[in-house]
Amino acid sequence: MNYTVQIGNIAIGREKPLALIAGPCVIEEYDIAFEIAASLKSVTDALEIPFIFKASYDKANRTSVTSFRGPGLREGLKILGRIKSELGVKVLSDVHQISEVGPAAEVLDMLQIPAFLCRQTDLILAVARTGKAVNIKKGQFLAPWDMKNVLEKAASAGNSDLCITERGAMFGYNNLVVDFRGIRIMQDAGWPVIFDATHSVQLPGGAGTSSSGQREFAPVLARAAVAAGADGVFIEVHKDPDRALCDGPNSLKLEDMPEMIRQLKAIREAL
């Protein structure tokens, strides 16, 4: 089955170049976000990789009430809007509730439904009705074939620019595992599939008051996912992951991205 999702001049699909959605887990401040976005744009431009910059204005599902959540809707969208304008990149962020949808759709090129909210019917419909491209992350608690129902909810609102993102499934306590059969299963539902390499190596709640992670395995899983036919890769990146305010243990170092992207492109082209 051939399928294509269009986000401005970016096309994601079976017959298209591998797409990259990447950026820091959360917006910490403008300068950090801008530097990461600019570096990723430079690499993806040189390699002719379609690139969407990702950063959350609010992380509403943190482990602890004291965890850093981000600058919030208003300030976060302002920062994403500046980066979009100054660098000429597409931008994506998470939307957690219906009241955020309108303001978010004014700035974002692609709206993302977080994994824990992928069964929230009213939120999915509200996001889909904006007409913007939508990335729905598969819940850690769902089987790949369950996502067909989720996508049909969104499609019922008249939106066909939908992507699914695989981010692993719960495997006991504080652990995730990836079933690569799911990429093909979800593609057969009729939409592109993105692979989230960094959340798939997260250890949810594994550090007690925060999540832990095994970032050393993210490149391994990313290469496997592209070989399995994933249409794009989602990667959280930071200049200094050990000091990141969110998801540092499973984020990759910005300096390691050029070589990794080259490898993923080579695998995609070999297919």
Radius of gyration of the chain (CA): 17
Query: C-alpha distances in angstroms, 191 versus 14, 40, 82, 85, 234?
Result: 9, 26, 30, 29, 16
The amino acid at residue 237 is V
Q: Say what the pLDDT of residue 221 is.
A: 97
Domains annotated on the chain, with CATH: 4-270 (3.20.20.70)
Other beta carbons within 10 angstroms of residue 205's beta carbon come to: 14
- The pLDDT tens digits along the chain (271 residues) read 568 999 999 999 988 999 999 999 999 999 999 999 999 999 999 999 999 999 999 988 767 787 888 899 999 999 999 999 999 999 999 999 999 999 999 999 999 999 999 999 999 999 999 999 999 999 999 999 999 999 999 999 999 999 999 999 999 898 899 999 999 999 999 999 999 999 999 887 766 666 777 889 999 999 999 999 999 999 999 999 999 888 788 899 999 999 999 999 999 999 8
Question: pTM value?
Answer: 0.95
Q: Say what the pLDDT of residue 61 is.
A: 77
Q: Say what the pLDDT of residue 91 is.
A: 98
